[in-house]
Amino acid sequence: MRGVSEAYFDPDFDALIDRINPPGVVVDNETCEDCTLVKVDSANRDGILLEMVQVLTDLDLLISKSYISSDGGWLMDVFHVTDQLGNKITDRGMIHSIQQSFTPAPKSASPRHHHHHHHHQQSEYNSDSACCTCAAATTTTTTIEVAAADRPGLLSEIAAVLAALGCRVSSCRAWTHNSRAAAVLDVHDRAAAVDPRRLADIEQQVRGVVGAHSDGPGDRMRVAVSSPSPSGRVHTERRLHQMMREDGDYEEMTTAAAAAAATETRVTIDRWAERGYWVVGVRSLDRPKLLFDTVCALTDMRYVVFHAAVGSHGHLAIQEYYIRHKDGCSLDSESERRRVTRCLVAAVERRVSHGLRLDVRAIDRPGLLSDVTRVFRENGLSLARAECATRGERAVGTFYVTDASGCREVDPKAVEAVRREVGGGIVLEVNKDAPSRSPAEKKIRAQTHGIGIGSASSLEEARPRNSLGSILWSQIERLSGFIRS
């Protein structure tokens, strides 16, 4: 029987559409007194909302409000943004960066050109101002991914074995949540970049350290070591979300995690039959990168956001998404609604900074991460989250530490002991602000007037008057005029 011919789809079709209809970007400093509006209209395609949010997040901008609407083949977004200090975006260089970052890069662009376009899903990650690095773009960088049960000293042991192998850590991000841990480390090792045996040796050594305290064959653990890929890599923080979700950190919450989630994060899921949407509401404590984390979770669960409204009300962040599943699957089943709810709660809670924040600065040298984390471990401190990287010859890091149990406040004597033992040349500062609220965030909250919701009650098919959605629908008709005017 003659085979049936199938339609051909050019894999570069999306890029072609972007070049024919490049995104329109307006940076508006006139409409609002306390923030800058970034208005974007673009041809709609898979994953574009996450790319847009990623662009703004990677430029260190804080998003206080957002209205998002897609209509067929077109997407229209308005983001209310400020810098990290809560100020409007007036620097001409930053405005240019915003406009350029939304412009699609030619496929044949040089690596340097791609470095400036953070929005590509697999572009090299340019971290926030505390931990930025360009090292990940080099051809001698090896990436190590670890997901395992959390325990005191885990990152210290991984860093020690890498130092013993002669691998120089250029950046590291590690998260913990619900007794699970995930880390992505970039290391310089010229041999590993070209020798598969060297890669295998590094992986075996790291796997041995991670699995040393395993409870047995049933204990979940993942270690992967990879050399640079010509097509680039997934955004580091999105990768951490993916790793922790695949590791099942959202499934069985520990008592402490469940208590925190119950008081800080609430998810509602309801059907709006008239329009064919599922309406997902998320209420949580406000913080930077919250929109990015939520959109990551929805995207990786293969849900498409058609409309959304995001804002703050006092110290709370209120998000409402109108979604459908890519494959047409329904949220009718209780099990799927439970899965989506748990995944969203986990995505929100992973980045919440529990513990005392310690900022570290030093001249970069081999074994630096190993030395610093060893001193933490030897003084009874456990890492809840870590972000560190190199900037030329300097190394910077932010560590959130708890006591070994993860429950009690850190003893000031332990911090002083750490400060003495890290040695000369390493500057360690204690950030005494609340761990999940920086001064910039507090200023943002003080300046934000809220979004006018009456309560956080569950949404109904009839769309209650006090729903955030009622504000969204009033904004949608204005979006096109805002952007095209």
Q: What is the reported pLDDT for 5?
A: 41
Is 441's pLDDT higher than 80?
Answer: no
Instruction: Please state the pTM of the whole predicted model.
Output: 0.80
Q: Over pLDDT 70: what percentage of the chain?
A: 73
Which is nearest to 288 in space by CA: 157, 419, 168, 443? 443
Confidence of residue 33 (pLDDT cuts 50, 70, 90): very high
Is 88's pLDDT higher than 90?
Answer: yes
Most confident range (mean pLDDT) of 24-33, 113-122, 420-429 is 24-33
367 pairs with which residues across the strands? none
pLDDT tens readout for residues 370-394: 999 999 999 999 999 999 999 989 9
Q: What is the reported pLDDT for 475?
A: 57
Confidence of residue 472 (pLDDT cuts 50, 70, 90): low
Which is nearest to 56 in space by CA: 124, 112, 105, 128? 128
Q: Which domains does the chain have, with CATH numbers?
A: 135-249+353-439 (3.30.70.260)
- Distances 130 to 59, 173, 358 between C-alpha atoms, Å: 12, 12, 12
Is 462's pLDDT higher than 90?
Answer: no
Q: What is the reported pLDDT for 436?
A: 43
Q: What is the reported pLDDT for 478?
A: 52
Q: Mark residue 450 as left, alpha or beta (left: phi above 0; alpha: psi -120 to 50; beta: remaining).
A: left
CB 72 within 8 A of CB 87: no
Confidence of residue 21 (pLDDT cuts 50, 70, 90): low
Average pLDDT score over the chain: 79
Is 73's pLDDT higher than 90?
Answer: no
pLDDT tens readout for residues 246-298: 999 998 765 555 555 555 799 999 999 888 899 999 999 999 999 999 999 99
Q: Tell me the three-class secondary structure of the chain, residue by residue.
A: CCCCCCCCCCCCHHHHHHHHCCCEEEEECCCCCCCEEEEEEEECCCCHHHHHHHHHHHCCCEEEEEEEEEECCEEEEEEEEECCCCCCCCCHHHHHHHHHHCCCCCCCCCHHHHHCCCCCCCCCCCCCCCCCCCHHHCCCEEEEEEEEECCCCHHHHHHHHHHHCCCEEEEEEEEEECCEEEEEEEEECHHHHHCHHHHHHHHHHHHHHHHHHCCCCCCCCEEEEECCCCCCCCCHHHHHHHHHHHCCCCCCCCHHHHHHHHHHCEEEEEEECCCCEEEEEEEEECCCCHHHHHHHHHHHCCEEEEEEEEEEECCEEEEEEEEEECCCCCCCCHHHHHHHHHHHHHHHHCCCCCCEEEEEEEECCCCHHHHHHHHHHHCCEEEEEEEEEEECCEEEEEEEEEECCCCCCCCHHHHHHHHHHCCCCEEEEEECCCCCCCHHHHHHHHHCCCCCCCCCCCCCCCCCCCCHHHHHHHHHHHHHHHHHC
Kind of pairing, strands 394-403 and 168-177?
Answer: unpaired
pLDDT tens readout for residues 198-220: 999 999 999 999 998 776 666 78
Report, as an integer, the average pLDDT of 426-454: 51
pLDDT tens readout for residues 353-371: 788 999 999 999 999 999 9
pLDDT tens readout for residues 97-107: 999 988 765 54
